[in-house]
Structures are given as C-alpha cells and as structure tokens.
Amino acid sequence: MTKTGLVIVAAVCVCFSLLSILFVDRPLAEWVRHSGIESMWIFTEGTKLLDTICARDVWRFLLGSVIVGVGVVALAVRGWRRLAPVLLFTGWVHLTSYFTALVVKSLFGRLRPAQLFESQTWDASWFAGGGSFPSGHVAYYVSLFLPLMVVFPRWRRRLIVIPAFIVIARINENDHFLSDTTGSIALVALITAGLMAVMKRWLPRKPSQTSNESDKIRQATTAA
C-alpha cells in the first residue's frame, strides 16, 4: 500500500464516519442492543485474550515501547539490521496513533452507546466527558497491523483479521459506534502515511515490486 493509498483510505473512512454519525450510529447501536447479539462471548473473551497477549492491561504503551526498543537493538546487530526499520516503523506508528487517539478522544468527549442507553439523552452525546470517539481499541490494534500490511502486502489478508475482529467486537459490545471505529482507522492511516514518508529511505523499497522480484528469482531457481 502506498502513501496515496493510505490517504485515500483515510479520506473514505472520514466520509464514512460523517455519514455514519448522521444516519447509521444510533440505529445500528439500537439493533445490536435489541437483537440479542450484544456482548457475544466470542467477542468479549476474544478481546480480553488479545489485550492480555499484548499486555495492554499492564501498560497500554508497553508493547509499542518494546517494539521500538527491539528495533533500536536490531540496528546494532548485524543479522537483524534489515528488520530494524520495520520494527521502528511499526512501533512508532503504534505509539503515535494510540497516543493521538487518546488525545482526540478527550477533546470530543463522546458518550458510548451503552452510556446513552442508560441516560436516554441521545441529543447530548458529544463533548459530554465520554471517551467513545475515536475508538482506542481499534486505534491500538490497527496501528499494530497496518504498518505490517504496508511493508508486507502479501500478508495483508492474514494481517487484517485481528483489526477486523476488534472493529466488530467494539460495536457488538456497544462500547463504540461504527463511526468511532472508522474514525480510528482514518487516524491511523494518516499517521502511517506520514511516518512512511519520513522513513521512506529506510523502509523496504516498493514492497510489491520486491515481492515480484522474489517470485522471479524463485521461478528461475526452480527452472534451473
């Protein structure tokens, strides 16, 4: 995925967020609440398991800090130097995105769907001291996997599974509106594009082209 592609993704998500705020958020939240699928076991327990694996409950910036730290160490280890830019890129995207999401969250103060069901004050959901927009969970996991999708495009379908799961889980638990999740994706995509531009010199050159060249080498070796 190129920088232009990331900016397009961000723009589409922003537009989708605006439309969702106007037409989708409340009806979808109400449907989840009254359909009997709210807080399904697979989503609640799956999210807890992922949070435990990523040590999110210990300290929310721990994993990103570890990734950056390993990246710095990799710069000094000859066999790891090619991996260092990928680690640093992923770690910085993750830390920057998650920190920014927390700041933006405090500025908008949007109440969560579950809170609005309790208060029944749907017209006063913004700037009310809540923490719904954007989704911190979505920002956390998308910022871990989107940089890897940029660097390793051939793994994209596998890498998208966990972020997609988290998006569905947050909506299913009525902890977030749909626009909260797409807003987070837009934020992460923009930050990824920005850091990609800054680190372009050190990141693997044209991942798709590199993959094609690897395929050609593999085919030539097999034919020989």
Copy the structure tokens of residue 205. Answer: 């050159």
pLDDT at 216: 44
Cβ proximity of 41 and 47 under 8 Å: no
Residue whose structure tokens are 């000859």: 78
pLDDT at 221 over 70: no
Range with lowest mean pLDDT among 16-20, 101-105, 122-126, 173-177: 122-126
Q: What is the DSSP string of 58-116?
A: T-TTHHHHHHHHHHHHHHHSGGGTTTHHHHHHHHHHHHHHHHHHHHHHHHH-PPPHHHH
Cβ proximity of 156 and 109 under 8 Å: no
Give the single-character DSSP code of 124. G
Model pTM?
0.90
Q: How confident is the model at residue 206 (pLDDT cuts 50, 70, 90)?
A: low
Q: How confident is the model at residue 124 (pLDDT cuts 50, 70, 90)?
A: confident
Residue 36's SS3 state is coil
